[in-house]
Chain A
Amino acid sequence: MTSALARFDPGRRAALEAVANLLIPSGDGMPSASEAGVAGRWLDEVLRLRPDFGPPLAAVLDGLIGTDPEVALARLRSTDPAGFGVLAEVVAGGYFLNPKVRSAINYPGQQSVAIVPEQPPDYEQDGLIASVIARGPIYRPTPGRKRDR
């Protein structure tokens, strides 16, 4: 277990689960944050990828333990935007690592899509660029020179 993961005992994970579900509840056929595993497997993965999130996340969660999650989350957002930012990035980052979530939102990742030259090019289709050209030049020329078109 890495040092970053060692910091996240069941108490902190429970605190994370509680606030994570307020950020991303279930609905519209989508799982909640905890159902998607953001306090379990995907927290481990987020911290493996972003060990720099470990210390600030631990500090945020320690402030949440034993409090009403809703009240504590509202207070965090208003008093510690940076801490809230780390919490939100961990929750959403973990959520979107889950392949089931990615599939459900039809997000396949940043795909490799070759540029296939069109004939005519898309900027020429439907008279798109011809309209711009017809409106003529819009720049102010260098003093002493005329517009050359």
Chain B
Amino acid sequence: MSPTAEKGPDRIPDVLIVGAGASGAVAAKRLAEGGFDVVCLEQGGWPDYKKARAPFPDYELTSGRDWAWDPNARQVPADYPVDDSESDITALMWNGVGGGTVVFAAQWQRNMPSDFQVRSLDGIADDWPFTYEDLEPYYVRVERDWGVSGLAGDTAFPGGDGPPMPPVPLGRMGRRVAKAHNDLGWHWWPGPNAIATQRYGRLNPCTQRATCLWGCSEGAKASVDRTYWPVAVERGVTLLTGARVKRLIVGSDGLVTGALYVDRDGNEHVQQAAVTILACNGIGTPRLLLLSATSAQPHGLGNSSGLVGKRLMMHPFGTVVGLFDDDLDSWQGAWGQHIHSLEFYETDPSRGFVRGAKWGLQPTGGPLSMTHSYPWGEENAIWGPAFHQQLRKRLGRSAMWGIIAEDLPEESNRVVLDPVKKDDSGIPAARIQYRMSENSRRLMAFHQERAKESLEAAGAYETVIAPFIRATGWHLLGTAMMGSDPSRSVVDPWGRVYDVPNLYIFDGSTWPTSAGMNPTATIAAVALRGVDHLIAERRDARTSS
């Protein structure tokens, strides 16, 4: 059976999902299991893993061609422009079946309990309308559905069930840094990853080629195009690719009746549904709400709070590299993370900033990566008489911490419609306005210094703090805030849009705060919690009608 339908069904399904990334996949599969008739519209296509070149000599050279993360650089028909000229960070995404999970590093991080309670604990921003304990059962379920490897008992989290597969090996570099952290008395734990370490459902075991970010050629990385979507389609979900939604259609009663979409030939179609779910990421979802303004909701659909598009959070990202005398085999392994550390995650007011960051220990890549200005820095440029000596120092003998910094929600950081630029379907593009805060700058500087100390304690004879670069906006959060107060939030604690009762948002747009974690685990768990609630509500409605 082909997993792609060429045109939409004539029937009116129970649920329309816009976007086939992480949250759309979780919703589609769960709804299909619950007996719901589902159609999903996805503007991109299926990933072409024939272009995943890990086993070949040209891998490093071609990975940036076929697996680029920046839609403005990639410019394939599935992409829409994102004007980032007024942003400190460039938004990265993958528009296609699987969404960002196709190119994510698969670092699978639950949020910690404090992430849901930053107002109560740190006196800043907003609490989430539920707790870690409320979400914990959903983490457990998605980790089993998804195919996650790791180890239960992490001392940075409450107890409970862990992932279904054992963790990826620490490897030589992981063991070295783990021992150093033990000497320092600092936290570390085997890295949780959405990477199969054994055969698991549709996933093959990881072969440690360290190419997770550029198309996993082995079928070991748990991206939802490999895990959820084939199951959802088998269970009857209709997934339409090349279907770009132009706007949602709103009836006279204020409910959404479906979506107007454009196919790759430029033909417009209407897909009706009883319920619509947006799963388009923190830029695509507010863009679509703003595009769907009506005379009754002239500032954007669901925007009576005025918060649609605002509070954009993208996680400033830092990297610190250590150079070691020993061969650490550091072009191989999961990428992914071998270990993570949450030692400095929690707020400590004496540091001069609030909140913190998560660290993930990663490989550094093959020889071509050793020549790049990131993470090595222009001041350490490899070119010239010292080229061969520098190459030998770096290749296989380096390890790096990737640092995910929590950024706080600010209404001035936002997504708006571009007044000029349009995508190739003639739909206004997105524009992002984002400035990194002083809190983020202080936070990052502190963490970079501690990460340097970590690598030095592990025996690094030299460390490099990577320069700040803009192209790190993998995590797009906060632009349709969830909360219990309709005047100060776009969606309720279950993802339902306050102003439009049959419209739901299940992607990272709904996050009240950003945490300092890779977000996919929590996006998936929150989506599952929301869709479970939606199913229960609709069953009640059917029973009572």
Please give the residue numbers on chain A whose beta carbons come within 8 Å of chain B beta carbons, in ascending order.
Answer: 22-25, 27-28, 30, 45-46, 49-50, 52, 85, 88-89, 92-93, 96-97, 99, 102, 105-107, 109-115, 117-118, 121-123, 125-126, 128-129, 131-133, 135-143, 145, 147-149
Cα separation A51 to B189 with both chains bound (whole Å): 43
A115 CB → nearest B CB, Å: 5
Q: Which residues of A contact B209 (CB under 8 A)?
A: 110-113
Q: Give B173-188 interface residues, CB cut-off 8 Å to A.
A: 174-175, 178-179, 181-182, 185, 187-188
By CB atoms of chain B within 10 A, which of A106, A113, A125 has the most?
A113
A116 CB → nearest B CB, Å: 9
Q: Which residues of B contact A111 (CB under 8 A)?
A: 208-209, 332
List 6 extra interface pairs beyond A50-B62, A105-B391, A110-B210, CB under 8 A: A49-B65, A52-B65, A115-B197, A117-B166, A123-B170, A148-B159
Selected from B113, B175, B198, B385, the residue in CB contact (under 8 A) with A141 is B113
**Is A110 a contact partner of B332 (Cβ separation < 8 A)?**
yes
Range for the number of chain B residues in contact with chain A:
35 or more
Selected from B114, B167, B388, the residue in CB contact (under 8 A) with A28 is B388
Q: Mark B147-171, 1 if CB is under 8 A from A, else 0.
A: 0000101011111000000111111
Interface CB pairs A-B, < 8 A, 6: A93-B368, A96-B368, A102-B367, A123-B190, A139-B157, A142-B114
Selected from A28, A92, A125, A133, the residue in CB contact (under 8 A) with B368 is A92
Q: Shortest 7 CB-CB distances between A and B: which pairs?
A: A28-B388, A110-B209, A112-B207, A131-B182, A93-B61, A92-B371, A23-B383
**Is B190 a contact partner of A109 (Cβ separation < 8 A)?**
no
**Is A97 a contact partner of B58 (Cβ separation < 8 A)?**
yes
Q: Is B57 an interface residue (CB 8 A)?
A: yes
Q: Is B3 an interface residue (CB 8 A)?
A: no
**Is A50 a contact partner of B133 (Cβ separation < 8 A)?**
no
**Is A93 a contact partner of B113 (Cβ separation < 8 A)?**
no
B329 CB → nearest A CB, Å: 9
Knowing A28-B388, A138-B342, say if A88 contacts B383 (CB, 8 Å): yes
Q: Which residues of A contact B349 (CB under 8 A)?
A: none
Selected from A22, A46, A107, A142, the residue in CB contact (under 8 A) with B367 is A107
A138 CB → nearest B CB, Å: 5
Knowing A110-B55, A123-B170, say if A115 contacts B156 (CB, 8 Å): no
Cα separation A123 to B174 with both chains bound (whole Å): 9
Q: Which residues of A contact B112 (CB under 8 A)?
A: 139-140
**Is A132 a contact partner of B133 (Cβ separation < 8 A)?**
no
Cα separation A145 to B169 with both chains bound (whole Å): 34
Q: Which residues of A contact B81 (CB under 8 A)?
A: none
**Is A121 a contact partner of B166 (Cβ separation < 8 A)?**
yes
B61 CB → nearest A CB, Å: 4
Cα separation A115 to B116 with both chains bound (whole Å): 36
Q: Which residues of B contact A115 (CB under 8 A)?
A: 168-169, 197-198, 205-208
Q: Mark B52-84, 1 if CB is under 8 A from A, else 0.
A: 001111111110010000000000000000000
Cα separation A112 to B56 with both chains bound (whole Å): 11
Cα separation A95 to B84 with both chains bound (whole Å): 34
Cα separation A123 to B178 with both chains bound (whole Å): 9
**Is A105 a contact partner of B392 (Cβ separation < 8 A)?**
yes
**Is A142 a contact partner of B151 (Cβ separation < 8 A)?**
no
**Is A24 a contact partner of B178 (Cβ separation < 8 A)?**
no
A31 CB → nearest B CB, Å: 10
**Is A25 a contact partner of B166 (Cβ separation < 8 A)?**
no
Q: Is B123 an interface residue (CB 8 A)?
A: no
Q: Is B518 an interface residue (CB 8 A)?
A: no
A129 CB → nearest B CB, Å: 8
A125 CB → nearest B CB, Å: 8
**Is B207 a contact partner of A113 (Cβ separation < 8 A)?**
yes
Cα separation A93 to B63 with both chains bound (whole Å): 12
By CB atoms of chain B within 10 A, which of A93, A129, A138 has the most?
A138
Knowing A24-B383, A92-B368, say if A138 contacts B62 (CB, 8 Å): no
Q: Which residues of A contact B185 (CB under 8 A)?
A: 135
Cα separation A52 to B62 with both chains bound (whole Å): 11
Q: Is B346 an interface residue (CB 8 A)?
A: yes
**Is A110 a contact partner of B366 (Cβ separation < 8 A)?**
yes
Cα separation A143 to B371 with both chains bound (whole Å): 48
**Is A133 a contact partner of B153 (Cβ separation < 8 A)?**
yes
Q: Which residues of B contact A89 (CB under 8 A)?
A: 61, 368
Cα separation A88 to B374 with both chains bound (whole Å): 13
By CB atoms of chain A within 10 A, which of B198, B210, B211, B366 has the most?
B366
**Is B113 a contact partner of A140 (Cβ separation < 8 A)?**
yes
Q: Which residue of chain A has its CB nearest to the CB of B171?
A: A122
Q: Mark B91-105, 1 if CB is under 8 A from A, else 0.
A: 000000000000000
